[in-house]
Amino acid sequence: MMHLAQVNIARMKAPIDSEVMAGFVARLDEINALADGSSGFVWRLQGDEGNAMYLRPYDDDRIIFNFSVWETFDDLKQFVYRTVHAELLRDRKSWFEQFDGAYVALYRVGDAIYATADTCTHGEASLSEEGMLTGKTVECTFHFGTFDVTTGEPTGMPCEIPLKTYPVKVIDDQVCIEV
């Protein structure tokens, strides 16, 4: 049986034991317990304290990392967007910084993979997190605007500005994006 591995990498705005991060840290046990009991949950990285906050795989001490495994994408989506976990997603800018460089959303349409800028041109929504892909159309669930992911062109109001697109090549099962 195939499973889905999900990795999160984020840079905290301040040390984990700071006042800035207190709201995030206070909800860790609750959210991890929710994941553990969710349909389709298989495994998550954790240490003695029941979470992955101890792990620092990068030189930067503010970068945290977690990793979980799910039976299907729908199981993961249900947990991430349709439970109280979504509250943490909405508040993430209070705790985490934006990384430098391009944020890219990837889409599988049939056998092809397409890449666009991740941020909806109508607002601040992340299409990789808030978008719903149907065929070659991604709908931004913030205000229900749509784009053709193969061209970046807006196809439904209120979106009027095209998304930047990036060339994608698949080489030996590796997805390579030119940004």
- Closer Cβ to ligand FES, 64 or 125, answer by number: 125
Q: Does 154 bind ligand FES (CB under 6 A)?
A: no
Q: Does 12 bind ligand FES (CB under 6 A)?
A: no
Among 12, 53, 76, 125, binds ligand FES (CB under 6 A): 125
Write the CB contacts of 145 (distance below 8 Å, at least 6 apart in sequence).
120, 122, 139, 154, 156, 157, 158, 159
Q: Does 21 bind ligand FES (CB under 6 A)?
A: no
Residues 54, 72: Cα–Cα separation, whole Å: 27
Q: Does 123 bind ligand FES (CB under 6 A)?
A: yes
Count CB neighbours of 24 within 10 A.
21
Q: Choose the binding region for ligand FES from 3-11, 30-38, 56-64, 122-130 (rule: CB under 6 A).
A: 122-130
Q: Does 40 bind ligand FES (CB under 6 A)?
A: no
Q: What are phi and psi for residue 67, nearest 5 degrees?
A: -150, 130
Write the CB contacts of 169 (distance below 8 Å, at least 6 apart in sequence).
175, 176, 178
Residues 75, 5: Cα–Cα separation, whole Å: 12
- Closer Cβ to ligand FES, 76 or 120, answer by number: 120
Binders of ligand FES among residues 101 to 120 (CB under 6 A) are: 120
Q: Does 158 bind ligand FES (CB under 6 A)?
A: yes
Q: Does 53 bind ligand FES (CB under 6 A)?
A: no
Q: Determine whether 130 is exposed, middle or buried from the number of CB atoms within 10 Å of its CB (0-12, 13-18, 19+).
A: buried
Summarize as ranges the residues that interact with ligand FES (CB under 6 A).
120, 122-123, 125, 140, 142-143, 145, 158-159
